Structure 1
Amino acid sequence: MDSGQPTKQSVLHHPAYLHLAASRVLTALASQAVTIAVSWIIYDMTESAFALGFVGFCQFLPRFFLTLVVGHVADSFDRRMIVLICQLVQAAIAAMLAVAIFEQWITPTLIFVAVTLLGAVNAFQQPSTVALLPNVVPPSLLQQAVATSTSLQQAAFIIGPAAGGLLYGVHPTAPFVISAVLLLVGGVNVALIHVERRVVVREPVTIASVFAGVAFIRSRPVILGAISLDLFAVLLGGATALMPIFARDILHAGPWGLGFLRAAPAIGALGMALLLARRPLKTHVGRRMMVACAVFGVATIVFSLSTNIVLSIVCLAILGAADTISVVVRSSMVQLMTPDEMRGRVSAVNSLFIGTSNQLGEFESGVLAGFLGPVATGVIGGVGTLIVVLLWIRLFPELVRVKTLEG
């Protein structure tokens, strides 16, 4: 990056990128508002840690079964249209939930069905959006684009949960109505994206073509190590899925407290993303990723043991900052080392890893908390993360030896 020539070397001067970034921010705002409202409704209706975890499982399940299909779709069709259709469907689901709450025929079963549909839609949207980014900016700006996008999304992750909690306090339908509007506006931004038409070679759907993304990742230990480390670290450190329990029963805060707890990781992530956008990692990238994952585990342990909401928020902010280092390293590696005709399938597999760590991690934490309680669950997860880091140092020495994201 040549900071001395911002007019030539800044992603903020690429109109297509700005439309894509706006779409991603609006989608993130909407998804976070819906997530905070759904989690509060579910726990309010059931008072069950298992039910909270099951929300994550419902989102993960369609992603698991659709991963290989959506990757092939993202490589064979117009990625921009795929993202647009996904946003319109998400807006319709948010509107449906608003009507269900207003008419008072909302049930846990309906919520589980809705989040399963959202999971299916996101399975198509996420890899298509990620694969679209390199079509919007030149390779020389990709790392800056990843860091900038992360910054913008984390800002949305800060505002979204807090706004969702406040809107829910005004009226339970408000987060869903506002989310539907944001998704529609995001769709308009996607429609305004203009990119050079890709030369799409539609391969016949064969076992080899469908599993090409898996084969590509397996053949590159650095990428496999990076995304699997992130997978297990977040999978085990999923105590954040139990935030409604911590907010209400341990920290004695209401929906506003849950909103700020949800926003805290994003605050830390935003700060780190801004730092990385200004001062990108240039040396000892692999080693720093390992340290960041270890910090993630320690922060999870302290958060789980905390009975003070200020300390809890600080721990979650540190957790978010550490996770961002992993996100930027992994995302940059995947994009820079993958040819365009493979990006959809590779991004789909990467998306499965991300979805598994986040959503299946929520399910795991919910089930374990049902037996051991939220505090013990969080501590066990944090310790497990530290163990995984030590194992990955031995299993993937190539990752530890990575010096730079550019070579």
Structure 2
Amino acid sequence: METLILGWYVLVQTGSVLWLTAFGALQFVGTLASPLLGTLADRLGLRRVLASMRFAYAALAGVILLLAATGRLSPGAVLAVAGVAGLLRPSDIGMRTALVGATVPPQHLMAAMGISRTSMDSAKVAGALAGAGVVAAFGMVVAYAAITAIHLGGALLTLRADSGRHLPVAPVPGQAPAAPPSPWRELREGLAYIWHTPVLLAAMAVAALVNLTAFPLSGGLMPYIARDVFHLDQRGLGWLVASFAGGALAGSVLMGMVGGRLRPARTMLWGCGLWYLCLLGFVHARQPGLAMVLLAAAGAAQSISMLALSMLLLRGSDQRFRGRIMGARMLAIYPLPLGLLLAGALIPRIGYAWTAHAMLATGVLLAAAIAWAWRDALWRADAPGNLRAVPPA
């Protein structure tokens, strides 16, 4: 709801796609801090860190609510709040994924990941439709009162989850307990662990690539595409966003049902390729109805690919490093604001279609290069990254 409402507000008030992409980029300024938050979560517990983050979201939504209620809301204020929220928000998905991994037994992990992703994707569908409808019918104040309440509810529910903390190692009798290592040392250990584990490094490379070349077209640029390409209003934007999220929801349900029988590394690569193909069709579509169908297909492919990627990270990592690894996973989001800003600079110069084609072509070529460079870890049927969680029937 927030991304759709504020993105449309910035675009309408400024009339600039560059300002729109700047708003989208500011939501990810905290990506570089994600490994530190992951290290903190390993120390204090995933539940505490995640709940604190969500109380912070509620406070920031309350700021927007206050500004809207007093008539002082402006694009500059929206960008400022987005920047502060962006210090925390990139870590949210990684912390939630790590909490699932710390709570659910390995044999049920793929189903649990599918359920977790289903809850997120269904919320995106409802949020896209409700956000556009509530603002159009009742205005920004009512919409942000609802958003603030939802954030508070999420924080309170998070406090009821398992802590995700690991049991401390029992000290050896007669030996003084060792001092805990510094957070920086723990962070270096986590990054070194990823660097020396080929399947983890390959998965991180895929995540960085799709954030640079695919996610901007189905996320931050959507208000521009809705208004300037398809000439839709805010409700039309809601339907476009809901189409992508609805496809992602279908992909999540499918992965929850059969994902344990798939080979994760191959599934990640095939899903990534299908995602690019569907986005190429979306760029060429000129009818909103066809565009929504292609967006739904792209959302399903995206969900399948990214769930398989998360499975690679969780199954390929030691439990002691999960918070740090999922925090480092959020570093792969850092190319997303770069892709948004690049698109915002190129679209006024070479047009939307040429910009989209350049991004998608780059994505396909680099995805093929990743698949070739790490073919032993990603493509071989007997590679650890391709072991099925559930044997085929």
Q: Name the TM-score, length of structure 1 as normaliser.
A: 0.86
Change (3 A) 1:200 1:49: farther
Deviation at 1:136, TM superposition (A): 2.1
Asked if 1 retains the 8 angstrom alpha-carbon contact of 2:45 and 2:164, the reply is no
Instruction: State which drifts further: 368-377 or 242-251.
Output: 368-377
Rounded Cα–Cα distance in structure 1 between residues aligned with 2:80 and 2:163? 36
What percent identity do the matched residue pairs reach?
Answer: 23
Change (3 A) 1:101 1:307: same
Deviation at 1:120, TM superposition (A): 1.3
- DSSP 3-state at the match of 1:105: coil
Aligned to 1:15: none
Aligned to 1:117: 84
CA deviation string 1:103-123 (max 9, x = no partner): 221222211111111111224
Rounded Cα–Cα distance in structure 2 between residues aligned with 1:57 and 1:197? 32
Rounded Cα–Cα distance in structure 1 between residues aligned with 2:14 and 2:94? 33
Report matched runs for 1:64-103 at 5 Å: 64=32, 66-103=33-70
Matched, 1:391 2:358: no
Rounded Cα–Cα distance in structure 2 between residues aligned with 1:268 and 1:193? 28
Change (3 A) 1:34 1:369: same
Aligned to 1:142: 109
CA deviation string 1:140-166 (max 9, x = no partner): 211111111111211111111111111
Aligned to 1:19: none
The letter of the residue matching 1:346 is I
Matched, 1:266 2:248: no
Change (3 A) 1:273 1:357: farther
Asked if 1 retains the 8 angstrom alpha-carbon contact of 2:46 and 2:165, the reply is no
Aligned to 1:351: 330
Aligned residues: 373
Instruction: State which drifts further: 357-366 or 91-100.
Output: 357-366
Rounded Cα–Cα distance in structure 2 between residues aligned with 1:207 and 1:80? 21
Change (3 A) 1:273 1:378: same
Rounded Cα–Cα distance in structure 1 between residues aligned with 2:132 and 2:272? 29
Equivalent position to 1:293, from 251, 268, 272? 272
Q: Name the TM-score, length of structure 2 as normaliser.
A: 0.89
Aligned to 1:308: 287
- DSSP 3-state at the match of 2:181: coil
Report matched runs for 1:7-18 at 5 Å: none
Matched, 1:403 2:386: yes
Matched, 1:152 2:119: yes
Aligned to 2:6: 38
Asked if 2 retains the 8 angstrom alpha-carbon contact of 1:300 and 1:381, the reply is no
Equivalent position to 1:324, from 277, 299, 303? 303
Deviation at 1:346, TM superposition (A): 0.6
Rounded Cα–Cα distance in structure 1 between residues aligned with 2:273 and 2:97? 27
The letter of the residue matching 1:99 is L
Q: Which runs of 5+ in 1 are unaligned?
A: 1-32
Asked if 2 retains the 8 angstrom alpha-carbon contact of 1:329 and 1:405, the reply is no
Rounded Cα–Cα distance in structure 2 between residues aligned with 1:316 and 1:380? 19
The letter of the residue matching 1:180 is T
Equivalent position to 1:128, from 95, 100, 123? 95
Deviation at 1:200, TM superposition (A): 5.0
Instruction: State which drifts further: 196-205 or 220-229.
Output: 196-205
Change (3 A) 1:193 1:208: closer
Aligned to 1:60: 28
Rounded Cα–Cα distance in structure 1 between residues aligned with 2:162 and 2:305? 31
Rounded Cα–Cα distance in structure 2 between residues aligned with 1:283 and 1:130? 19
Deviation at 1:294, TM superposition (A): 1.5
Rounded Cα–Cα distance in structure 2 between residues aligned with 1:114 and 1:291? 38
Rounded Cα–Cα distance in structure 1 between residues aligned with 2:97 and 2:325? 10
Rounded Cα–Cα distance in structure 1 between residues aligned with 2:386 and 2:192? 25
Q: Which runs of 5+ in 2 are unaligned?
A: 170-178
Structural RMSD (CA) = 2.1
Equivalent position to 1:366, from 336, 340, 344? 344
Change (3 A) 1:325 1:37: same
Deviation at 1:221, TM superposition (A): 1.2
Matched, 1:184 2:167: no
Aligned to 2:353: 375
Asked if 1 retains the 8 angstrom alpha-carbon contact of 2:282 and 2:295, the reply is yes
Change (3 A) 1:312 1:303: same
Deviation at 1:347, TM superposition (A): 0.7
Aligned to 1:47: 15
Rounded Cα–Cα distance in structure 2 between residues aligned with 1:62 and 1:392? 26
The letter of the residue matching 1:235 is L
Asked if 1 retains the 8 angstrom alpha-carbon contact of 2:39 and 2:187, the reply is yes
Instruction: State which drifts further: 149-158 or 167-176.
Output: 167-176
Asked if 2 retains the 8 angstrom alpha-carbon contact of 1:70 and 1:123, the reply is no
Aligned to 1:235: 212
The letter of the residue matching 1:184 is L
Asked if 1 retains the 8 angstrom alpha-carbon contact of 2:35 and 2:327, the reply is yes
Change (3 A) 1:79 1:206: closer
CA deviation string 1:44-63 (max 9, x = no partner): 11111111111122122222
Aligned to 1:24: none
Aligned to 1:104: 71
